[in-house]
Homo-oligomer: A and B are copies of this chain.
């Protein structure tokens, strides 16, 4: 049950955009890619998905770049997951078999709990310095 690299990248780049939120000059793809050690060509696709989901905005041409669409605390990790990875803990099976329906029902409940937990974390949290990490290990 692995977390996709794509979601990790998305969290990192949004944290990075959080730091430049409100500034006049917008960061470019290459700057973001280098700061977060993400392949630039892959980052392009992720940023597009984030833009299509309304989490970020972009400006074309010279002086172009990316920025958060709203303040960091107003973008949750649930928004991020749904933007790049689809529904949280989406079911693969059809719910067939004697225990299929019951199994689906329970997993939907678990997915709901996880979603609510993800909603409580925002880009603001991702921007905190690494010094507080001990609390999470």
- List residues of chain A with CB under 8 Å of any chain B CB: 1-5, 7-9, 11-12, 15-16, 35-38, 77, 81, 85-93, 96-111, 113-114, 117-118, 121, 125-130, 132-133, 136-137
Q: Contacts A3-B107, A90-B1, A110-B121 hold; do A16 and B136 have CB atoms under 8 A apart?
A: no
Question: Do residues A36 and B3 form an inter-chain contact, with CB atoms below 8 A?
Answer: no
Say whether, besides A1-B81, A36-B98, A126-B103, A8 and B92 are in contact (CB < 8 Å).
Answer: yes
- Report the bound CA distance from A40 to B99 in whole Å: 16
Contact call B99/A11, Cβ cutoff below 8 A: yes
| Residues A117 and B121 in contact, CB atoms below 8 Å apart | no
The quantity of this chain's copies bound in the complex is 2
Q: Are A99 and B136 in contact (CB under 8 A)?
A: no
Contact A137 B108 (CB under 8 A): yes
Chain B residues contacting A93 (CB-CB under 8 Å) are: 5, 8-9
Q: For residue A1, which residues in chain B have a CB less than 8 angstroms away from its CB?
A: 4, 7, 81, 85-90
A-B pairs with lowest CB-CB distance, top 10: A36-B97, A15-B99, A37-B97, A105-B133, A105-B136, A109-B136, A5-B92, A1-B85, A12-B99, A37-B96
Q: Which of chain B's residues has its CB closest to A110's CB?
A: B117
Q: A100 to B100, alpha carbons, bound, how many Å?
A: 38
A8 contact from B16, B81, B103, Cβ within 8 A: B103
- A114 smallest CB distance to B (angstroms): 5
